[in-house]
């Protein structure tokens, strides 16, 4: 197998394996990133709700997302 064939294999592998890599990441190392992002997302949303609850309690309009 020559270099061109190897490069072709690598290139094909990148496109074919891309979704596989994402799936593996979601099952393994990526889980931690997903979990952290979920936590960040939920935290920001909860913070925003807390602000809106306070605003409403003061008779002020809530902030629209």
Q: Which helix (H) or strand (E) holds 37?
A: helix 29-57
* Residues from 6 through 35 that contact other proteins (CB under 8 A): 6, 9-10, 13-14, 17-18, 21-22, 25, 29-30, 32-34
Q: How far is the CB of 44 from other proteins (least distance, A)?
A: 4
Residue with tokens 């596989």: 20
Return d(Cα 34, Cα 16) in angstroms, integer.
23
Return d(Cα 55, Cα 1) in angstroms, integer.
69
Give the footprint of other proteins on this chain (CB under 8 A): 1, 5-6, 9-10, 13-14, 17-18, 21-22, 25, 29-30, 32-34, 36-37, 39-41, 43-48, 50-51, 54-55, 58, 60, 63, 65
């Amino acid at each position: 197998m020559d270099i061109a064939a190897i490069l072709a294999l690598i290139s094909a592998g990148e496109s074919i394996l891309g979704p596989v890599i994402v799936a593996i990441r979601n099952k393994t190392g990526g889980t931690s990133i997903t979990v952290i992002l979920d936590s960040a997302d939920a935290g920001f949303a909860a913070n925003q709700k807390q602000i809106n609850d306070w605003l409403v309690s003061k008779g002020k309009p809530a902030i629209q997302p």
